[in-house]
C-alpha cells in the first residue's frame, strides 16, 4: 500500500480511537441526562476527581483492586450527596437552573479534588503499554497503539452493558420514566431518590473508567477537567439521550478532528483542535437540531 494511504489510515484510526475516548466521557453525560433530565456539566470534574483519588491511593501504596473499589465507593457517595444537596431541592425547576447548578458543582469538585489531594500532576500506568501493535506494524507498516485499542475495547463493553441495562431491565425502564417526567414517575410509585442515587453511582463508575483511560494517556492533572468540554460536541451530534449516539458522535468528532488537524491544520497555523470539533457540531446542529438520535421536541400550544 502506498505510504500516503497508510498514513491516512493511521491518522483516521488515531482519530477514531480518540473519539472512543471522548465517547467514554460523553457516556457519563448521557446516563445522567437519560435518567434525570439533568445536563451534568460537572462530569469532567467527576472524571478528574475519580482519577485523582485512584492515583493518590495507588501512590500511597494501596493495592490496585482495593484502590479501585474504594474510589468507586467514593464516587457513589459523591453521587448520593449531590442528589441530596443539589438536585433534590431543585426538583422541577427549569433545566437551565439545574445546568447552572452543575456548573457550581464543577467548581466545588475542582476545589475539593485539589484541596484533598494536592495539585501536582500524576502519571498512571495500567499495565498496557502505549506502543504500536506489533502485528499491525510488522505486517502492514502501520502504527496503531495497543493502549488505544484496549481503550476502545473497554468502551465497547461498557456501552453494550449499559445499553442492555437501559433497555431490558426494570430499573432501566424506571430510569427512563424518571427522565421523562419527575412528577409522573413519583405518581406511579417509582422511588425517585433511589433511582437518582443509582444513576449517579453508575455515572461515577463511568467517570472513573474514563478517568483511568485518560489518565494513562495524558497524566492525571487539572487539565483533565477539560475533557468534559471535548465531550460536548459529541453530545451535540449524538443527541443528549442516546447511548449509541454517544459512540457514533464520538467517532465522528474524533475522526474529523484528527483528520482536520493533520491535513488542514498546518495550512492555517495549527492549533485548530481547540475549536474544530465545536464548529463541526454546530454545523451539524443547523441541519439536525436534535442531533443524530435525539428526540424531536414538539411544542404543544
Partner 1 sequence: MLYREAGQFKSSYAEDQQIFPIRQDRIGIGLLLLVAFVVVPLAGNQYWLGAIITPFLIFALAALGLNILTGYAGQLSLGTAAFMAVGAFMAYNFVLRLPWIGVIPAFILAGLCAAAVGIVFGLPSLRIKGFYLAVATLACQFFVLWALQRVPWFTNYSSTGVVTAQQISLLGFAFDSPERKYLFTLAVVAVMALLAKNLMRSETGRAFMAVRDMDIAAAVVGIPMMKTKLLAFAISSFYCGVAGALYAYTYLGTVEPEAFTLDLSFRILFMVIIGGVGSILGSFLGAAFITLFPIFLNLASGWLSHTFGMDISHAVVSNLELMIFGGLIIFFLIVEPLGLARLWQIAKEKLRLWPFPH
Q: Which residues bind partner 1 (CB under 8 A)?
A: 39, 85-86, 89-90, 93, 95-97, 99-101, 103-112, 114-115, 118-119, 229, 232-233, 235-236, 240, 268-272, 274-275, 278-279, 281-282, 285-286, 289, 299, 301
Min dist. Cβ of residue 134 to partner 1 (A): 38
Min dist. Cβ of residue 210 to partner 1 (A): 19
How many C-alpha atoms does 18 have within 13 Å on its Cβ side? 20
CB atoms within 10 A of CB 63: 11
Nearer to partner 1, 136 or 233 (CB): 233
Nearer to partner 1, 109 or 227 (CB): 109
Min dist. Cβ of residue 32 to partner 1 (A): 13
Residue holding cell 497524566?
219
The residues, ordered by sequence, that sit 6+ positions from 41 with a Cβ below 8 Å of its Cβ are: 99, 102, 103, 105, 106, 228
Min dist. Cβ of residue 150 to partner 1 (A): 30
Report d(CA 45, CA 276) in Å as an integer.
23
Nearer to partner 1, 73 or 81 (CB): 81
Nearer to partner 1, 170 or 297 (CB): 297
Contact status, residue 292 vs residue 246, Cβ threshold 8 Å: no
Report d(CA 295, CA 289) in Å as an integer.
10
Min dist. Cβ of residue 299 to partner 1 (A): 6
Nearer to partner 1, 244 or 265 (CB): 265
Contact status, residue 128 vs residue 147, Cβ threshold 8 Å: yes
Nearer to partner 1, 158 or 231 (CB): 231
Min dist. Cβ of residue 20 to partner 1 (A): 21
Report d(CA 66, CA 56) in Å as an integer.
13
Contact status, residue 67 vs residue 51, Cβ threshold 8 Å: no
Amino acid at each position: 500500500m502506498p505510504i500516503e494511504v497508510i498514513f491516512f489510515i493511521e491518522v483516521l484510526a488515531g482519530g477514531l480511537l480518540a473519539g472512543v475516548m471522548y465517547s467514554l466521557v460523553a457516556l457519563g453525560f448521557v446516563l445522567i441526562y437519560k435518567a434525570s433530565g439533568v445536563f451534568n456539566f460537572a462530569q469532567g470534574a467527576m472524571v478528574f476527581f475519580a482519577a485523582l483519588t485512584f492515583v493518590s491511593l495507588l501512590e500511597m501504596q494501596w493495592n490496585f483492586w482495593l484502590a479501585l473499589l474504594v474510589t468507586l465507593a467514593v464516587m457513589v457517595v459523591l453521587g448520593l450527596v449531590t442528589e441530596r444537596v443539589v438536585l433534590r431541592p431543585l426538583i422541577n425547576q427549569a433545566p437551565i437552573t439545574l445546568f447552572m447548578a452543575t456548573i457550581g458543582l464543577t467548581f466545588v469538585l475542582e476545589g475539593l479534588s485539589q484541596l484533598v489531594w494536592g495539585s501536582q500532576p500524576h502519571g498512571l500506568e495500567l499495565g498496557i503499554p502505549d506502543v504500536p501493535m506489533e502485528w499491525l506494524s510488522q505486517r502492514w507498516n502501520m502504527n496503531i497503539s495497543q493502549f488505544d485499542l484496549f481503550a476502545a475495547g473497554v468502551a465497547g463493553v461498557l456501552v453494550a452493558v449499559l445499553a442492555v441495562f437501559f433497555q431490558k431491565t426494570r430499573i432501566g425502564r424506571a430510569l427512563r420514566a424518571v427522565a421523562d417526567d419527575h412528577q409522573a414517575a413519583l405518581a406511579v410509585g417509582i422511588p425517585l431518590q433511589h433511582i437518582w442515587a443509582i444513576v449517579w453511582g453508575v455515572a461515577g463508575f463511568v467517570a472513573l473508567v474514563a478517568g483511568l483511560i485518560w489518565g494513562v494517556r495524558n497524566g492525571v492533572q487539572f487539565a483533565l477537567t477539560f475533557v468534559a468540554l471535548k465531550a460536548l460536541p459529541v453530545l451535540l451530534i449524538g443527541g443528549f439521550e442516546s447511548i449509541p449516539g454517544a459512540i457514533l458522535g464520538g467517532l465522528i468528532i474524533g475522526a474529523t478532528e484528527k483528520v482536520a488537524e493533520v491535513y488542514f491544520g498546518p495550512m492555517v497555523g495549527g492549533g485548530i483542535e481547540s475549536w474544530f470539533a465545536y464548529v463541526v457540531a454546530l454545523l451539524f446542529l443547523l441541519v439536525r437540531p436534535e442531533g443524530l438520535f435525539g428526540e424531536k421536541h414538539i411544542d404543544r400550544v
